[in-house]
Amino acid sequence: MTKAFVFPGQGSQAVGMLSDSQPEVGPVFKRASDVLGYDLWELTQNGPEERLNATEFTQPALLTASYALWLVAKNAGFTADFVAGHSLGEYSALVASEVIAFEDAVSLVQTRGQLMQAAVPIGEGGMAAIMGLADDQVAAICEAVTLETDGSVEPANLNAPGQIVISGTKAALEIACAQCLDRGAKRAVPLNVSAPFHSRLMAGAAEQMATAIESVAFSAPRISVVQNVIAETVSDPSVIRTNLVAQMVGAVRWTESIQYLVGSGIETFIECGPGKVLSGLIKRIERQVTTEQISSASAALLASADQ
């Protein structure tokens, strides 16, 4: 049975989201803490929640938790034919496939979080989830609103059929949400995020991130990696770099990524990280596949990859 490991992005974090009951967990968090200069395990376990939810802290915390669970699963006998990650989760996928060293990835996502947070003043941009409209309908509304206003709004996360996240300046976002509801959307829900991620408003952050990425060694993947912005596998390290930068301003094409994996023969998706967000999205995209979760250190030991 062919398997893909998928790694969650921002929004899956929670205080106490991981157990240290397995021997892989503590050392991984120690390695991350040494890079970051603060006790990441303490923050992850005890908060405060407001700090953990701040982008520059969330991103290293989720990467580290996901990588620790990957090591537990790997040592328990799990193997993967493909890996993919949702937004931030793509960095976890790249570490799992040995494209980027873990310590380098921790440093990169800390920088990524800081740059994304600083790109737009708090309160001037945001994101919203649109439920019940097709992707092309939402995209057309965003394009029209951008042309008609001084701001901008665009699709950011193409998560599943009928579920898309849009991102942009505050006023344009509010107009787009209202128009989506007028056109038949079931819901238009503002998200509790501090910046308009995956939009053109991240262009300045992307330029700075490109410099950070160029300073890190990249290798060819040991496991095939599907990247968000193109929804297919990439093996050339230089192209992987380019796509990571493009991801800052481009949409996360999650629906297409899952469809690509199913078309490549994947029958089982294993969500490796806190929560079950990706499993729910995958079931909405392709109902016939199997989804499993490794969301705590002990869960990975309940089964082996050969079962």
Give me the active site residues, please: 87, 198
Q: Sign of torsion, CA 212 214 215 220?
A: positive
Token pair 């995020």: residue: 193
List strands edge to edge, sheet with 290-294: 232-234, 224-227, 82-85, 3-7, 268-272, 290-294
Q: How far is Cα 253 from Cα 77, in angstroms, rounded to an integer?
A: 30
Backbone angles phi, psi at 47, to 5 degrees: 75, -155
Residue 63 has φ and ψ, to the nearest 5°, of -60, -45
Compute the distance between CA of residue 253 and CA of residue 243 in angstroms, rounded to an integer.
12
